[in-house]
Amino acid sequence: MILEKSKNTLFTALKWIIICSLIGILSGSASAFFLIALEWATHYREENNWIIWFLPLGGLLIGLSYYYWGQSVVKGNNLLLEEYENPQKTIPLKMAPLVLFGTLITHLFGGSAGREGTAVQMGGAIADQFTGLFKLDKSDRKTILILGISAGFASIFGTPLAGALFALEVVLFSKINLKSVPLSFLTAYVGYYTVEIWHVKHTIYSIPFVPEMSLTTLFWIFLVSILFGLAAMLFSRSTHLWGNLFSKTIAYPPFRPFVGGIILATALFFIGTSKYTGLGVPVIVEAFSTPNAPYDFLMKILFTGFTLGAGFKGGEVTPLFFVGATLGSALSLIVPLPIALLAGMGFVAVFSGATHTPIACTVMGLELFGLESGLFIGLACLIAYFFSGSVGIYKTQIVKGPKYHLYQKFKRKGTDLL
């Protein structure tokens, strides 16, 4: 009996190691290809600014592809969260090529979007194929979806610890099987090292100087972190606002990104700069050393919310990095803290508020910027989390915990400020 039980345990452990490895390798390879293709699309657009006039055509292609072939996967990340909360059907594998195509088209022609949503959707779609292959039950399927999110996030940003924690934290208030925790970390590291093996590099950020903590410093941390939280709330609500507006005013879905593309291309032409297109990584890097204009973060919120709301594809996280870093950078003109520290705090704090994941974002800050800034990063992520409101970028995410209970108290007292 004991021997038989040991064999079953060993077989189960081996099965999950194989599953984690395959998901990590496949998702990591997909992310590596995506990063290379995205770099090419970005470079081509920057060298050929006239291409923004093809944004309406690109939007129409995206709209048509999802309308005729991708109705079942059009919800994107929200579909992954829905299936985690209430498992129904295996995520179709076509989610991966559709979102990859849509995101590359969006970036090539000048839309403002990120890349995390694409990587997570590719990872989730690839991972869920193992549900049928290994005949997994609903509980194990939830684990599979966590592994896909973990692999996609870790491989696209080069942050395996944050990737594993993000996958767990974003579904934190649903039931989590404890075995998902170590498996999420294993998959994240396999995905991360797979990208490394493909020799695809991630952007390097640094905070060269961190001041000593004091009461005055704490005051400034609290103040700027509130602003980061409010920026996160504005970003989330902006995206939902534009999405609702397009769905109400344009009945035929493929026309939404087409019309949106016309408006975006015209706006980009008249403002005369491409700094708000694509990922905006050069602007993010520059924000750590040069103060940004106080309106840069607002412009990125506007362009990203409009782009995604119109139906173009991509993620929200890198634009959130842009918003946070440029807001922190602009605040350095009046806040007596180092510019790189403020940009780094904003980088992860706005992300924390918009996704309700302060733990993962704190760890991401440590992975990207080093341990020295850990206390500043952690406080910024926590405070921004509380001040970012109850609505995040993922409509189907279950929001509970300290923030939820705090807001319930406000509602009972007749105050609904957030």
- Domains, in order of start, for the chain: 2-197 (1.10.3080.10), 215-412 (1.10.3080.10)
Per-residue tens of pLDDT for the chain, all 418 residues: 666 666 777 888 999 999 999 999 999 999 999 999 999 999 999 999 999 999 999 999 999 999 999 999 999 999 999 999 988 899 999 999 999 999 999 999 999 999 999 999 999 999 999 999 999 998 899 999 999 999 999 999 999 999 999 999 998 766 777 889 999 999 999 999 999 999 999 999 999 999 999 999 999 999 999 999 999 999 999 999 999 999 999 999 999 999 999 999 999 999 999 999 999 999 999 999 999 999 999 999 999 999 999 999 999 999 999 999 999 999 999 999 999 999 999 999 999 999 999 999 999 999 999 999 999 999 999 999 999 988 899 988 877 666 655 555 555 555 555 5
Task: Select from 350, 354, 362, 360 the least CA-distant residue to 326.
Answer: 350
DSSP one-letter code for 198: T
Q: How far apart are CA 20 and CA 23, in angstroms?
A: 5
Angle between helices 317-331 and 339-355 (to 10 degrees): 140
Distance CA 158, CA 192 (A): 6
C-beta neighbour count of 176 within 10 angstroms: 17
- Reduce the DSSP state of residue 357 to 3 states and report it: coil
**DSSP codes of every residue in 211-269:** PPP-HHHHHHHHHHHHHHHHHHHHHHHHHHHHHHHHHHH-SSTTHHHHHHHHHHHHHHH
pTM of the model: 0.94
